[in-house]
Amino acid sequence: MAAKPPAGMPSIARQASCALCGPDAGRVLVRAPRWRIVLADDADHPAFTRVIWNAHVAEMSDLDETDRRTLFDLVVRVESVQREILSPDKVNLASLGNQVPHLHWHVVPRWRDDRHFPNAVWGTARDDAQGQAAARSAAVLARRDEYVDALRRCFDEAARSAADTR
């Protein structure tokens, strides 16, 4: 159960207008009662994955300690699968919420030859990287099914046990 917001802060209920409360915001790979793992639709970064907390809260501190640990463990497990299967040069973890104030984490495997490296994936694409980036995206796409299968194996048991405990 989510913690109550600090004194003076309004309670945040599930909102129909929230991009993450309603639609799945990508291809759902694993769904549990309190969270879901979604493959984002990003041509430049085909293994861009979101870990979304289902309740509409904006900050990690809105969660109780158990839920915070659960959410962060999910993020780290996604990162670990990305590293094992895709061998990126770096994995970016981001929880911003500036445009969508609904708690979610971006887990993005990065390569030195991707279109935006070393900048954020939301930044301006490098002009000098288009050919390399297309080849990198194709290489990641070739392994994406393997990545998805590994994620599902990693999280299916967690999703089942989460359904049993809440």
43-93 pLDDT, tens digit per residue, is 899 999 999 999 999 999 999 999 999 999 999 999 999 999 999 999 999
Strand partners, 35: 53
Confidence of residue 151 (pLDDT cuts 50, 70, 90): very high
What strands, in cross-sheet order, belong to the sheet with 104-110?
27-31, 35-39, 49-53, 104-110, 90-94
**What is the per-residue pLDDT for 132?**
86
15-52 pLDDT, tens digit per residue, is 667 888 866 678 999 999 999 999 998 889 999 999 99
**What is the per-residue pLDDT for 145?**
96
Assess contact for 104 and 21: CB atoms under 8 A. Answer: no
Assess contact for 30 and 159: CB atoms under 8 A. Answer: yes
Confidence of residue 97 (pLDDT cuts 50, 70, 90): confident
pTM of structure = 0.84
How far apart (Å, rounded) are the C-alpha atoms in residues 166 and 142? 37
Alpha-carbon radius of gyration of the chain: 17
Assess contact for 115 and 72: CB atoms under 8 A. Answer: no
What letter would DSSP give residue 126?
P
End-to-end CA separation in angstroms for the chain: 9
